[in-house]
């Protein structure tokens, strides 16, 4: 049973608009959440993280929101740029190994 779920396999967004990628988790013990970005033929690159003691973390164009009661987190990218086109993975952990979602493919259309 998947503990981290990314229910949208793909998302298309116009350049300059906001991209919102969603992630749901089932394990209430998770206390650290990360987003990774992956381009073809490259490994995942760490993007941004959030601890369960926060509900928002911002880094430039990227903001992660955490809703613990809903066991939901989201990644907002604004404004979206063509170079943001990639697969985005959500991941979560406690003092257990990192658990990844299946990823969402974001396409930013110029």
Partner 1 sequence: ETGVTQTPRHLVMGMTNKKSLKCEQHLGHNAMYWYKQSAKKPLELMFVYNFKEQTENNSVPSRFSPECPNSSHLFLHLHTLQPEDSALYLCASSQDDIPGQPQHFGDGTRLSIL
The nearer residue to partner 1, 47 or 108, going by C-beta atoms, is 47
**In three state form, how does the secondary structure of 42-103 look?**
CCCEEEEEEECCCCEEEECCEEEEEECCCCEEEEEECCCCHHHCEEEEEEEECCCCCEECCC
Window 50-79: contact mask with partner 1 (x via CB under 8 A): -x----------------------------
Alpha carbons 106 and 38: distance in angstroms, whole number:
10
Q: Are 76 and 18 in contact (CB under 8 A)?
A: yes
One residue of 63, 73, 89, 104 binding partner 1 per CB under 8 A: 89
Residues 15-54 that bind partner 1 (CB under 8 A): 31-32, 34, 36, 41-46, 49, 51
The nearer residue to partner 1, 77 or 87, going by C-beta atoms, is 87
Q: What are the residues binding partner 1 (CB under 8 A)?
A: 2, 4, 31-32, 34, 36, 41-46, 49, 51, 89, 93-95, 97-103
């Amino acid at each position: 049973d998947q503990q981290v779920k990314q229910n949208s396999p793909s998302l298309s967004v116009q350049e300059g608009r906001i991209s919102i990628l969603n992630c749901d988790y089932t394990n209430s013990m998770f206390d650290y959440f990360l987003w990774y970005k992956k381009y073809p033929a490259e490994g995942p690159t760490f993007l941004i993280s959030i601890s369960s003691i926060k509900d928002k973390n911002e880094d430039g164009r990227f903001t992660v929101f955490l809703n613990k009661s809903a066991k939901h987190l989201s990644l907002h990218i604004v404004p979206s740029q063509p170079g943001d086109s990639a697969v985005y993975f959500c991941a979560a952990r406690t003092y257990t190994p990192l658990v990844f979602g299946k990823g969402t493919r974001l396409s930013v259309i110029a």
